[in-house]
Amino acid sequence: MSALASAATPLTRPAPRPGGLLRTVARTHRPALVLSALALAATTVALVWLHGLGGEARAGDSACATPPTDRLPSCAAVEAITADETYANGLAVIATVLSYAVFPVAAWAGGALIGRELENGTAQLAWTQSVGPARWLAAKLAVPAALLTAGTSGTVLLNVWARGDGDPDLAGDWYYPDVFVSTGPVAVAYPLAGLAFGALAGLVWRRALPAAGMGLAASLLLHTLLERHREELWPAVTRVAAGSIELPRSAFQVSWDTATPNGVHITRATFHPQSHYWPLQYVETGLLLAVAAAATATAFALLARRLP
Amino acid sequence: MSAVTAGASAAVKESRAPHGLVPALLRVHRSAFLFWLMLTAVCLGALLWAAGPGADAALAEYRALGCDRPGPGPDCHFSGSAVGRHQLAVAIASGLVTLLPVLTAAWAGGALTGREMENGTAELAWTQSVSPARWLAAKLAVPAVLLVAGTFAVTLLHRMLWSSPKNSLDRLMGWYEWHDDRVFEINGPVATAHTLAALALGVLAGLLLRRALPALGVAVLAVVSLVWVLDELRPRLWPTTATVTSAGSTPNPPGLVVEEGALTATGARVPVPECWGELDCPAESGITGYYAVYHPSSHFWPLQLMESGIALAVAALAVVAAFRLLRRRTGAAV
């Protein structure tokens, strides 16, 4: 009876439920989960508070006159408002945090998610259980990727909402590196690329600390390269005119040349108008996702080759 | 006979133990050692290049654009490519030195102590001829000597570049002030003191948490906060100087300004009035002058020594805490 019962038990669970694997990943990395949840909560509270401050901040940054006229408030009253500075500084901090989120993600993925498990042998132990190496890696990537996507998407939407009309004097121009990264899908794609880089570094080095360092270094390189070459991701507009050129407000200037052939002063300006925001976002997001996909594919190929 | 020989060789080994400990440490951390050599070489190379060919090229460009003439001509724009390369070289060196405390803390918390405690290699080492206290002393002393030597060399070279009298290099460096965070740190012992505090805090985090990655994270957070607090505290570390100017002009103190404002006839300090800059402003608002509270450049050394002292005190506290922790953990074995 007892033998029958024990033989029947494995039959009733031929395949382990994926829920168990996902829960294990979440359980092992509870500190990281708690820390990210705290960061997300703090960012959300800050953004809601900044949104509430927006109206007063815009009043503190408006045109004024001394003495006040019918349409313009007095400059002394406008100067007395300090909300605009708090609002601008708060948005700048949030933009920086969002655009740098890729770095801790890459270091964590290389160190704690993959590298440490391979160094300690807990990965090899897991593979002797009901989980195959490919499923193990898939769960390790899928759970953080889903959580990161949800978290960064929500934060980006909140950030855009808190920025209101995006007045460049308060919220920064659209092409400022941190503002550009933190207001569109690029902000979602960066941490995913960092996750893939970290996982690949963990599988290549198979040790926690070198993998954390290499994951971080690779994402630093990617971030720097894209920031430096962002203006080349979409054809820029060129304008040539005699005399000087007045570029539209919020133009992302790429180059500015002046020449004086035959005594005529010629100015040649290359720039991205604000309408290039979405094309630039899509191209950069596509590039980042392609890089992430390539790193993930390499990681799976490496895992398959390493196995006996 | 054999017992006597064994006893003698043990005695010989004991006296040679410190020699074995240092090479062992360098061997275990040789990738970190090589990385440190490379980082120092990049900093020194960038600064040497900036002092020599980089400066010559930048000055040649500067003259070619006509910037050295009184009332620089229309073609003088200071952002020429040679000037840009010179600035990039200096920025690489000072940026790496700014980053150094963070890297040091991450390595000291993660690789130097945290990983050894996590893997049990520390306990293994203590069962060999090395006592826990000697083990910790070597872990602190060897990196400290290397870090001080490298950082000090970079600081000396940057000072040479900064105070170079040979030409109008000060025009090339004119974008920066002596009190800018990066310039201030690299130009004196503060950079070295920050790095030593980072080493001590990292080692303490590794011993406290006994796991590589959490120790790395905590050490980095601690050092980033320490450097941030020191940057914020800096203007308050030495008594300031005040300067007063008449109502007709405004003070333009050459240094680190802490506070600025206007003076009334009674000598009270008030905010600069809204009408600032207009001709009849002083009469209208009752302002008799302007004042500024600041640090002149002669405060560079007192500020440097105060901040280095604070950072070194933090380092000393962390070292004492680490030794006490180790003694408590290992009992009488120390």
pLDDT at site B218? 95
Cα→Cα distances B204→A12, B54, B223, B308, Å: 52, 42, 12, 20
Partner-chain contact B110 A212, CB within 8 Å = yes
Partner-chain contact B274 A76, CB within 8 Å = yes
Residue burial A98-118, b: 16+ Cβ < 10 Å; e: rest: bbbbbbbbbbbbbbbbbbbbb
- Residue partners of B242: CB distance under 8 A and separation at least 6: B291, B292, B293, B294
Considering only alpha carbons, which residue of chain B is nearest residue A31? B214
Partner-chain contact A208 B212, CB within 8 Å = yes
- Burial of A90 (C-beta count, 10 Å sphere; 0-12/13-18/19+): middle
pLDDT at site A176? 95
Contacts of B214 in chain A (CB under 8 A): 31
Contacts of A116 in chain B (CB under 8 A): 212-213
Considering only alpha carbons, which residue of chain B is nearest residue A116? B213
Do residues B129 and B12 lie in contact, with contact meaning Cβ atoms separated by under 8 Å? no
Check residues A238 and B248 and name the one with the higher pLDDT: A238
**DSSP-derived 3-state class of residue B267:** coil
Quick: pLDDT tens for A16-43.
Answer: 556 788 888 888 899 999 999 999 999 9
Percent of chain A whose pLDDT exceeds 90 = 62
Contacts of B31 in chain A (CB under 8 A): 210
Partner-chain contact A209 B115, CB within 8 Å = yes
Nearest-CA distance A79 → chain B (Å):
9
Quick: pLDDT tens for B214-232.
Answer: 999 999 999 999 999 999 9
Q: Which of A106, A282, A98 is nearest to A193 (CA)?
A: A106
Partner-chain contact A76 B111, CB within 8 Å = no
* CB contact B280 to A (< 8 Å): no
Please give the average per-residue pLDDT across A210-232, as a whole number: 95
Please give the average per-residue pLDDT across A116-140, as a whole number: 89
pLDDT at B12 over 80: no
Please give the average per-residue pLDDT across A254-270, as a whole number: 83
pLDDT at site B334? 47
Select from A105, A117, A209 the residue whose CB has the most chain B CBs within 10 Å, as the one to mutate to test that interface.
Answer: A209
Select from B36, B107, B116, B213 the residue whose CB has the most chain A CBs within 10 Å, as the one to mutate to test that interface.
Answer: B213
Nearest-CA distance B142 → chain A (Å):
21
pLDDT at site B178? 85
- Alpha-carbon gap, residue A28 to A125, rounded angstroms: 14
Tracing tokens 């009309």 back to the chain, one arrives at A165
Check residues A113 and A55 and name the one with the higher pLDDT: A113
DSSP 8-state symbol, B175: T
Tracing tokens 């440190």 back to the chain, one arrives at B36
Partner-chain contact B274 A210, CB within 8 Å = no
Return the CA Rg of chain B: 27
Residue burial A214-229, b: 16+ Cβ < 10 Å; e: rest: bbbbbbeebbeebeee
Considering only alpha carbons, which residue of chain B is nearest residue A77? B274
Domain boundaries, chain B: 16-237+300-333, 241-298
- Alpha-carbon gap, residue B52 to A116, rounded angstroms: 46
Q: Which of B215, B207, B202 is nearest to B323 (CA)?
A: B207
Outline where DSSP puts E strands in chain B.
Answer: 241-246, 255-264, 269-270, 287-296
Partner-chain contact A112 B274, CB within 8 Å = no
pLDDT at site B331? 75
**Phi and psi, residue B311, nearest 5°:** -65, -40
**Region at A176 (left for phi over 0; alpha for psi -120 to 50; beta for the rest):** beta
Q: ipTM score of the complex?
A: 0.76
pLDDT at site B332? 54
**Region at B41 (left for phi over 0; alpha for psi -120 to 50; beta for the rest):** alpha
Residue type, A202: G
pLDDT at site B169? 53
CA trace torsion A32, B117, B204, B102 (10° rounding): -60
Partner-chain contact B274 A66, CB within 8 Å = yes
pLDDT at B104 over 90: yes
Contacts of A79 in chain B (CB under 8 A): 274
Nearest-CA distance A167 → chain B (Å):
25
Nearest-CA distance B214 → chain A (Å):
9
pLDDT at site B9? 47
Contacts of A122 in chain B (CB under 8 A): none
Considering only alpha carbons, which residue of chain A is nearest residue B114? A209
Q: Which string of DSSP letters, residue by residue, matches chain A?
A: -HHHHHHHHHHH-SS--HHHHHHHHHHHTHHHHHHHHHHHHHHHHHHHHHHHHHHHHHHTTS--BSS--SSS-BHHHHHT--HHHHHHHHHHHHHHHHHHTHHHHHHHIIIIIIIHHHHHTHHHHHHHTT--HHHHHHHHHHHHHHHHHHHHHHHHHHHHHHHTT--HHHH--TTSHHHHHHTSTHHHHHHHHHHHHHHHHHHHH-SHHHHHHHHHHHHHHHHHHHHHHGGGGSPPEEEEEES---PPTT-EEEEEEEE-GGG--EEEEEEE-GGGHHHHHHHHHHHHHHHHHHHHHHHHHHHHHH--
- Alpha-carbon gap, residue B325 to B333, rounded angstroms: 13
pLDDT at site B5? 46
Nearest-CB residue to A79 (from B111, B212, B274) = B274
Do residues A108 and A32 lie in contact, with contact meaning Cβ atoms separated by under 8 Å? yes
pLDDT at site B4? 45
Confidence of residue B70 (pLDDT cuts 50, 70, 90): low
Question: Cα(first)–Cα(last) distance of chain A, in Å?
Answer: 39
Nearest-CB residue to A209 (from B111, B214, B274) = B111
Domain boundaries, chain A: 29-228
Quick: pLDDT tens for B114-132.
Answer: 999 998 888 888 888 788 9
pLDDT at site A92? 95
pLDDT at B10 over 60: no
User: Angle at Cα A213 formed by Cα B213 and Cα B29, nearest 5°?
Assistant: 80
Do residues A116 and A199 lie in contact, with contact meaning Cβ atoms separated by under 8 Å? no
Contacts of B115 in chain A (CB under 8 A): 208-209
Q: Which of A2-6, A255-259, B189-193, B259-263 has the highest mean pLDDT?
A: B189-193
Confidence of residue B8 (pLDDT cuts 50, 70, 90): very low
Please give the average per-residue pLDDT across B46-54, as a whole number: 91
Quick: pLDDT tens for B137-175.
Answer: 999 999 999 999 999 999 999 998 887 754 455 556 566
Please give the average per-residue pLDDT across B74-97, as a whole number: 81
Percent of chain A whose pLDDT exceeds 70 = 94
pLDDT at site B14? 47
- Alpha-carbon gap, residue B22 to B197, rounded angstroms: 21
Partner-chain contact A212 B111, CB within 8 Å = no
* CB contact B111 to A (< 8 Å): yes
pLDDT at site B13? 46
Check residues A16 and B285 and name the one with the higher pLDDT: B285
A-proximal residues of B, 31-70, CB under 8 Å: 31
Average pLDDT of chain A to the nearest whole number: 88
Check residues B51 and A177 and name the one with the higher pLDDT: A177
A-proximal residues of B, 208-227, CB under 8 Å: 212-214, 216
* CB contact A47 to B (< 8 Å): no
Partner-chain contact A209 B212, CB within 8 Å = yes
Please give the average per-residue pLDDT across B36-48, as a whole number: 96
